[in-house]
């Protein structure tokens, strides 16, 4: 069978317009040729700093922003060419969990109405009783007491609000869930609860996830594979244990060395590779390898030529002109 999600050479470009006549002065290449597969029931962790295009990749897959070109197949069916009616039906299969459960829930709707809305929009419930039963079932599924269904979002904590967001996303029984930094806005103490909830829902419902995060540590235990993005491109892709043990791209090394490790012995042997500066603008990104303005190993070739994403060992892909990094940092 085909992978549940197959993305090929996805591009999402935005025109930049200025002045009274709104003349196009450039193009932001937010997503610039991204490819990956996610098998049924698996999780792709999509990681990078803010502005690297990871959220836009997620939104492009769901056509919440219009892709410029490429292919997105769910269960082998092309999504990017669906007409609006067919897309509306296909939306049931692919849902999004948003970063900010405060901003993504309408404050004037009760929890019942928030969760029942997608059900009635898609004609999945035929009576108020049926909606009530389905909302109660979904609330229990995400660990909320159905006795709260007449309450409003502001009466809940951040973690509970994210549970409401998850219930809403699961109402249509999707196959694919794109979670856009679902725990970044939450207290650290609550983050693990939500990650664990998503993991157990995945097992129970055979969900396939794309989990977007800026923090490698958050996706490590949840992901079947991790893809690291930089300025619209995937620079490295591997299974989490492999990626943490031997990162092949200097950018991944830098992200990993930013993760604090409590063990001082490990800390002493580990090579620090601090990331300097900000991600450059995706409008006129650096030539060649986009990372050359921040890479400690940059060579003449790097600003002239973009390195292709190549398979270095089975299942481990990297895009860098260096075939071996000077000193690989160890990471437990």
Q: Which stretch binds ligand SF4 (CB under 6 A): 174-182, 237-245, 264-272, 291-299?
A: 291-299
Give the one residue of 7, 34, 38, 55 binding Mg ion; rule: CB under 5 A: 55
317 in contact with ligand SF4 (CB under 6 A)? no
247 in contact with ligand SF4 (CB under 6 A)? no
Q: How many residues make up the chain in this entry?
A: 332
Residues that contact ligand SF4, how many (by CB under 6 A): 14
For residue 223 the two structure tokens come to 């992901």
Cα 75 to Cα 1: distance, rounded to the nearest angstrom? 8
> Considering the complex, what minimum distance in angstroms separates the CB of residue 51 from Mg ion?
8
Q: Which stretch binds Mg ion (CB under 5 A): 33-41, 55-63, 184-192, 281-289?
A: 55-63
250 in contact with ligand SF4 (CB under 6 A)? yes
For residue 36 the two structure tokens come to 């990956």
Q: Which partner from the list ligand SF4, Mg ion, none does 208 bind, CB cut-off 5 to 8 Å by kind? A: none
Nearest CA to 331 out of 229, 248, 227, 214 is that of: 248
**Alpha-carbon separation of residue 92 from 96, 107, 111, 163, 219 (angstroms):** 11, 24, 20, 19, 25
H or E element in which residue 9 lies = strand 5-18
> Considering the complex, what minimum distance in angstroms separates the CB of residue 316 from ligand SF4?
15
Please give the DSSP secondary-structure letter assigned to residue 283: B
Nearer to ligand SF4, 90 or 306 (CB): 306
Nearest CA to 171 out of 211, 129, 134 is that of: 134
297 in contact with ligand SF4 (CB under 6 A)? yes
Chain residues in the site for Mg ion (CB under 5 A): 55
């Amino acid at each position: 069978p085909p992978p549940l999600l197959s993305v090929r050479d996805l591009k999402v470009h935005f025109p930049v317009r200025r002045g009274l006549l709104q003349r196009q002065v450039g193009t932001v290449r937010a997503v610039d040729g991204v490819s990956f597969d996610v098998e049924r029931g698996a999780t792709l962790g999509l990681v990078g700093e803010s502005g690297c295009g990871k959220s836009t990749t997620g939104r492009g897959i769901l056509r919440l922003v219009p892709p410029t070109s490429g292919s997105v197949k769910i269960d082998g069916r092309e999504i990017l060419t669906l007409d609006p009616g067919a897309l509306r039906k296909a939306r049931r299969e692919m849902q999004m969990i948003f970063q900010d459960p405060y901003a993504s829930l309408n404050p004037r709707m009760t929890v019942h109405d928030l969760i029942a809305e997608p059900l009635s929009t898609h004609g999945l419930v035929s009576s108020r009783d049926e909606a009530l039963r389905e909302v109660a079932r979904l609330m229990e599924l995400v660990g909320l007491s159905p006795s709260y269904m007449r309450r409003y979002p502001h009466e809940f904590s951040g973690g509970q609000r994210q549970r409401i967001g998850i219930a809403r996303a699961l109402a249509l029984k999707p196959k694919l869930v794109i979670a856009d930094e679902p725990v970044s806005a939450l207290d650290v103490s609550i983050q693990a609860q939500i990650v664990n909830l998503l993991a157990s829902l995945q097992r129970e419902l055979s969900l396939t996830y794309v989990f977007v995060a800026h923090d490698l540590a958050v996706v490590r235990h949840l992901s079947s594979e991790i893809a690291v993005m930089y300025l619209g491109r995937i620079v490295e892709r591997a299974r989490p244990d492999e990626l943490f043990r031997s990162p092949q791209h200097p950018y991944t090394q830098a992200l990993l060395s930013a993760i604090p490790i409590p063990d001082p012995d490990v800390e002493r042997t580990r090579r620090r590779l601090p990331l300097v500066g900000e991600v450059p603008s995706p409008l006129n990104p650096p030539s060649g390898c986009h990372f050359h303005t921040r890479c400690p190993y940059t060579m003449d070739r790097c600003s002239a030529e973009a390195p292709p994403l190549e398979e270095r060992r089975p299942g481990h892909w990297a895009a860098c002109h260096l075939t071996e990094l000077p000193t690989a940092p160890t990471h437990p």
